[in-house]
A = this chain, B = another copy of it.
Amino acid sequence: MAAADLTTRARIRDAAIHRFGADGFAASVRSIATQAGVSPGLVIHHFGSKDALRAACDEYVLQVIRESKSRALTPGSASDLLAQLADVEEYTPLVAYMVQGMLAGGDLAVAFLDQMIADAEGYLATGVEAGTVRPSRDPAARARYLVLANVGALLLHVRLHPPVDGDYAATIRELTALTAVPALEIFTEGLLTDRTMLDSYLVYVPDPPRR
C-alpha cells in the first residue's frame, strides 16, 4: 500500500480501500481524495461514481484475496484466512475492507463467504479422509455453520474491541487468545454429555442432505 510508482487510478483505489475499511462505506469521496492526494473530481473522473468506485474495490479485494490464498498462506484452516492476511502488513487494509463489506452485506460478502465455505468443506473432507476429522451427516451444512460461526465471532469481536490505528492483526490475535481454548475444547470433547438433544432433533427433521 506504499504510495510509490502506482497509477493515479490505483492510488485512488488503494485510498478508497483504506478509508472504506477504516470508516465504513459512508466514507466521503472527499476524504478518499484527500488520502490519495488528489481532488474529489478526479476520483469521479476515474471511476464514474462512488458506487462504481466501491464496485471496483470489491472486485480488486476479492481478486487479491483469491490470489494470496494460492500463495504463501498455510492451507488447512479456512477460518484463519483473515487472521493470516491481517498478519501481513500489506494486506491489513484488505482485511478491514472485507470486515466492513460483511457488516454491510452485499455481493462482496456473499462471494467471499461462499468461497470460504466451499474451501472449508474441502479442508474438512480431507480431514475426514485422513481420519482427523469426524464425518458428518451433512458436510456442506457443517462447513457453512463453522464458517458463519467463526467469521461471525470475528465480526462481533471487532465491534466490541475496535482495532486501534487499524491494527487488525492485534485484534485478531486477541480474539484467538480468547476463543482458542473453548473452541478446541468443544471441537475435541464436545459440549453435551448425551445424545438426546441431537437424536430428538434428528427424528423431528429426519431429512438427509439432498446432494
Chain A 133-144: CB-based contact to B (< 8 A → 1; otherwise 0): 110111001101
Interface centre among A134, A186, A192, A205 (most CB of B within 10 A): A186
CA of A192 to CA of B185, assembled, Å: 10
Q: What residues of chain B lie closer than 8 Å to A113, measured between beta carbons?
A: 156, 160
CA of A190 to CA of B189, assembled, Å: 6
- Tell me whether A190 and B193 are in contact in the complex, defined as CB-CB below 8 angstroms, given that A103-B103, A183-B145 are known contacts: no
Q: What residues of chain B lie closer than 8 Å to A187, measured between beta carbons?
A: 186, 190-192, 197-198
Cβ contact within 8 Å between A179 and B141: yes
Cβ contact within 8 Å between B181 and A188: no
- Tell me whether A132 and B194 are in contact in the complex, defined as CB-CB below 8 angstroms, given that A153-B149, A156-B151, A159-B105 are known contacts: yes
Interface centre among A138, A151, A198 (most CB of B within 10 A): A198
Give the Cβ gap from A112 to chain B, nearest Cβ, in Å: 11
Cβ contact within 8 Å between B162 and A156: no
Interface centre among A131, A182, A194 (most CB of B within 10 A): A182
